[in-house]
Amino acid sequence: MTQQLTVTSSHEADASGDVPQVVASLPVSLHPSDGEDSALVAIAGSPGWTEAALASIASGARGLMVIHPCAADVAALKDRASTLGVPVVVDTEWAHNPAVAAAAPHFAAHDDEDSLLEARVNAPVGADLDQVLLAQLALIRAAVGPVMSLTYARRNRHGYDALAALASGARASLAAILTNAIPGSATLRMIKPETAVTLTLPGAGTAAPGKVTVSGPEGATLLPTQWETAHRAAWRRLHGLADAGRACEDLEAFADDAALVASASSAVGR
């Protein structure tokens, strides 16, 4: 039987993570609460979010959802959450979309030193480029694997282009375009001489499905689609972890990606 857990969130978290809508869509698992003793707490990832997360754990939270976090030192939070078995799920724009998990085995079958990964995201004008890159790195990590090195070829107020390498030795090109002409979206395409895997994703605020296409000499196959937002999938994951009393590795992965972003940004400044 599913255990219903109470949820508390700030207005900022509600705005950026569609928290009330997600909670309403999962009435068996989640229930909104105004109390300070809620089992699950949603925290906006603005500056100071790690301190807010530590305070929530101290107040007895069984699980935390951090929405679109900015770069921060997460060492103390990671240690505390791990010690107490409190899951801290990092909710970025695309990584939790169900199509990502569906695409992962197909990317894994193509991921080697002979592959090229093309990654592109579209984000609103004025978006923080570091956070855009963090969300893109989280998507690549979830779908394919972690990016191990990254160098900007261009970075300005319109976006960026970067060259990267994955742990497998595969090469990667990353791009971000800041525009209000089209909705936010992301695309990953891994290419080999005769085959390719393509993942296209809408922004987290829509339930339009992500799409996975596997192509080869015999033609292209569109995998079955799943109609769920990335935010909703992230909350289902947090509920399952908190219900089982299990921590997760999101903070460790986030710290690695944040260090890569900082290193690439510092190189641009030199």
| Domains 5-93+231-264 and 98-228 fall in the same CATH topology | no
Give the class (CATH, top level) of 98-228: alpha beta
Decide if 145 contacts 111 (C-beta within 8 A).
yes
Report pLDDT for 227.
85
pLDDT in tens, 44-86: 999 999 999 999 999 999 999 999 999 999 999 999 999 999 9
Which residues of the chain fall short of a pLDDT of 50?
none
Domain boundaries, the chain: 5-93+231-264, 98-228
What are the beta bridge partners of residue 220?
215
Report pLDDT for 206.
72
Locate 123 and state its tokens: 């984000």
Report pLDDT for 270.
52
Locate 114 and state its tokens: 């002979």
Q: How many CB atoms lie within 10 A of CB 264?
A: 21
Radius of gyration of the chain (CA): 18
Report pLDDT for 23.
94
Domain 5-93+231-264: which CATH number of 3.30.2320, 3.40.50, 1.10.405, 1.20.120: 3.40.50
pTM of this prediction? 0.94
Cα 265 to Cα 252: distance, rounded to the nearest angstrom: 20
**In which order are the strands placed within the sheet that holds 211-216?**
147-156, 159-166, 171-178, 116-123, 185-191, 196-202, 211-216, 219-222
Report pLDDT for 192.
92
Contacts of 4 (CB under 8 A, 6+ apart): 28, 29, 30, 31
**Alpha-carbon distances, residue 51 vs 55, 119, 161, 182 (angstroms):** 6, 33, 33, 35
Q: How many CB atoms lie within 10 A of CB 188?
A: 26
